[in-house]
Amino acid sequence: MRREGCIRLFETKSAKGRLLHKLLVCSIFVGICSILSYRLIHFLDPEEGTIGTWGCILMFTAELWFSFYWFLAQFCRWDMVYHSTFKDRLSLRYEECLPGVDVFVCTADPRIEPPLMVINTVLSVMGYDYPTEKLSIYLSDDGVSELTFYAMLEASHYAKYWLPFCKKFKIEPRSPEAYFKTRASPSIEIDDPLLSQEWSSMKKLYEDVKDRIDTATKLGQIPQKDPKVFLDWDLGCSQHDHPTILKILIDAGDRKAFDIDGQPLPTLVYLAREKRPQYHHNFKAGALNALIRVSSEITNGTIILNVDCDMYSNNAESVRDALCFFMDEEKGPDIAYVQYPMHYENLSKNDIYGSMMRVANKVELAGFDANGGPCYIGSGCFQRRETLCGLKYSKGWQTRLRRKNDKKERSTRVLEEMCKVLASWTYEENTQWGKDIGLKYDCTSEDVITGLSIQCRGWKSMNFSPERKAFVGVAPTTLLQSLVQHKRWSEGLLQIFFSKYCPLIYGYKKIPLKLQFSYCPYMLWALNCLPTLCYVSVPSLCLLRGISLFPKVSSPWFLSFMYVIIAENGYSLGEFLWCGGTSQGWWNEQRMWLFRRTTSYFFALWDTILKLIGLSESDFIVTAKLTDEDVYQRYQQEVMEFGTPSPLFTIIATQALLNLFSFLWVVKSMLITPQLGVLEPLIIQIIICFVVVLVNLPVYGALFFRKDKGRMAASVTYKSVMLALLICTITLY
Ligand SMILES: O=c1ccn([C@@H]2O[C@H](COP(=O)(O)OP(=O)(O)O[C@H]3O[C@H](CO)[C@@H](O)[C@H](O)[C@H]3O)[C@@H](O)[C@H]2O)c(=O)[nH]1
Ligand SMILES: [Mn+2]
């Protein structure tokens, strides 16, 4: 027993080949310093007149910012660590006293988050390879939808068949939709006739469930509904005005809660917290806090897992993996949460909207981990209940993970009534909920700010990326959705930076300096908008007037610019390929960074300023998870979707046209007077302009050539052409 005590439940390895990385980083650093010194020396070069001087000042400011930002971005990739777990040791040592795990799934609107998708997520987590009497699933429905509730009822029946099937044949993934999609026919498993037999009946049962939910959705009404069960809805409730609805669909204490094999089922609870129009409901953070309280009465699991309704569990072992961290004798007591990276199932071949954030997942989270622990990114995160509720770290704190089930005998209905007050809107008044307890309010990036404050209370966190992806979700399928999502993220993050939770102030002396810095590039995403707008407009506009902003080819300074441009992009491409991406995928991501920086971040910055001076309020625009057939087809063919008129697209189109016009202007002047000497000092600008044009190729297609519905809206085309022409004319004359 004593020997066992010292064998670790997980191990940590540092990434290899970091020396090369560090050398490259140092060389780029030298290049950047040399660029900045060039600017300082040539700051007030009289050669180019006032416009040139202003151009140079703008370029210099942008370069200063990019250099600073580049420096910050090195912190989360300087060192990287990866972990592996030993689940067999966990079972050997602790199988009898595993802790209770409460899984929280959130949904907000049945029209954008279809009930069928929600119950697939629910079924996938019900299917965890974990003692069912210790596993409980809670769904928070901010949409108070009768349909979602009806789907949950269906799920609770279907689970009786589905869970034994999953466990008998050890199938993956355990979301029925995803499983039947990947296993289109059972014939692959010729060696197991039993599976083929049960596969068909399972599929049939699932198709029936699907049909019933589909019909109910279409008709907008529940078939054969039991008025007693749906009483709360029939009494009348609207999304923003209704009392708490709490339904324990499966109560593990109940004698009827068994699957067809006679095994107990996990507890399943549906909650729609109370909402009143006069009260701010704090979006997802509010929903999770209500769940924390309600679950503490019902099952009080020591570990909480939070997943979005669009992220199903793809790996039935995730709970056990996470417990290897929490229950490790040596390091376990320090760990507050275990974050899994997010993956997506609906990505196009080369991830046209750069949704996957490959590098963030594989490099930056691992870098955070090496610096003290990853940030909390919302979905796919296992937390200790106590730390989520504000517990401060203290050495020698004894983990209360191992405990026997101490459920009291209570009737389900009594329990429901008792817990309702916990989800009422008055409950939080004059309490620390949303401040020191639970998830933090007043920020649309509730996840990052909550994780940061947990770390600042002294806790560590872990990033774990198992071979088999743990969670798989749905990424936005149109450009606009993706840009709006990034606006929400970057705005929330910038807000944190400008609040008292700024990692550099709030984290001072509480978390390592390198961790404070690791947070910064994310929180400062939005500020990249101005320098980027500068870089995609000033050089090309100056081209029109023949004003040079960069050194000539023959100047030695030219080399520093070229070196930094080539090395930095080469490095970024290498990193992307190393993370398993394609070169086309990298190129797409560069385009998306350009679009995000010039639009999402720009509006995020603007709204943050309005909020800081009190002129605007936070809003959480839920990302749509449904797509029209033809839009989806274009997405899969990697044709960018513009379609709707939006100011975001006007900005994108205008900058694309500006660069195109400037480039054509240069080509024209070259054809008329082919004097290479005149062009020499303009080479870098021409390169920048040309690259921007290349990046924007899909935009020109959408503006002028495409005929499908996803092309640029006429009003946007009109506005952007006029704007670009106007700017060019003003510059020229
Ligand atoms: O009032 C609300 C709004 C949202 N949600 C839920 O929050 C989750 C995330 O919303 P979604 O629109 O899918 O946002 P994403 O941008 O995909 O989510 C990422 O970013 C969010 C913060 O911006 C995090 O909370 C998420 O965990 C993270 O996956 C979904 O399950 C929603 O149902 C609620 O429960 N109530
Ligand atoms: Mn989502």
475 CA distance to ligand 1 centroid (A)? 12
pLDDT at position 703 is 96
Q: Is the CB of 355 under 6 A from ligand 1?
A: no
Asked if residue 48 has pLDDT above 90, the reply is no
Q: Which atom of ligand 1 is nearest to the CA of 108?
A: 33
107 CA from centroid of ligand 2 (Å): 10
ipTM of the complex model: 0.98
Q: Bridge partners of 103?
A: 137, 305
Query: Does CATH place domain 84-183+198-342+377-475 in 3.30.1360.170?
Result: no
The mean-pLDDT minimum among 180-184, 453-457, 689-693, 706-710 falls in: 180-184
Which of 308, 425, 523, 617 to mutate for ligand 1's pocket (most ligand atoms within 8 Å of CB)?
A: 308
Residue nearest to atom 16 of ligand 1 (CA): 485
Task: Determine if residue 16 is labeled as part of a ligand binding site.
Answer: no
How much is the pLDDT for 404?
Answer: 46
Residues annotated as catalytic (active site), given as ranges: 142, 447
Ligand 1, atom 28: closest residue by C-alpha: 378
671, pLDDT greater than 50: yes
Mean pLDDT of 370-391: 95
Structure tokens at 574: 């290498």
Q: Is a pLDDT exceeding 60 seen at residue 660? A: yes
Confidence of residue 226 (pLDDT cuts 50, 70, 90): confident
Question: With a 6 A CB cut-off, is 496 part of the ligand 1 pocket?
Answer: no
Ligand 1 centroid distance, CA of 21 (Å)? 35
Q: What is the pLDDT of residue 244?
A: 96
What is the domain partition of the chain in residue ranges?
A: 18-73+512-732, 84-183+198-342+377-475
CB 520 within 8 A of CB 496: no
Q: Atom 2, ligand 1: which residue's CA is nearest?
A: 283
Q: How many CB atoms lie within 10 A of CB 94?
A: 17
Considering only CA atoms, which residue is closest to atom 26 of ligand 1? 378
> What DSSP letter does each residue of 317-371 carry, written as one string?
THHHHHHHHHT-TTTGGGEEEEEPPPEESS--TT-TT-TT-HHIIIIIHHHHHHH
Ligand 1 center to 651 CA (angstroms): 27
Atom from ligand 1 closest to the CA of residue 489: 23
Ligand 1 atom nearest to 474, measured from its CA? 17
Distance CA 70, CA 228 (A): 61
Residue 620 pLDDT > 70: yes
Mutational pocket test of ligand 1: of 106, 239, 445, the residue with most ligand atoms within 8 Å of the beta carbon:
106
Question: Does residue 733 have a pLDDT over 90?
Answer: no
Percent over 90 (pLDDT), the chain:
79
pLDDT per position as a tens digit, 459-489:
999 999 999 999 999 999 999 999 999 999 9
Stretch 70-95: mean pLDDT? 95
In DSSP notation, 231-285 reads HHHHT--BTTBB--EEEEEE-TTSTT-B-TTSPBPPEEEEEE--B-TTS---HHH
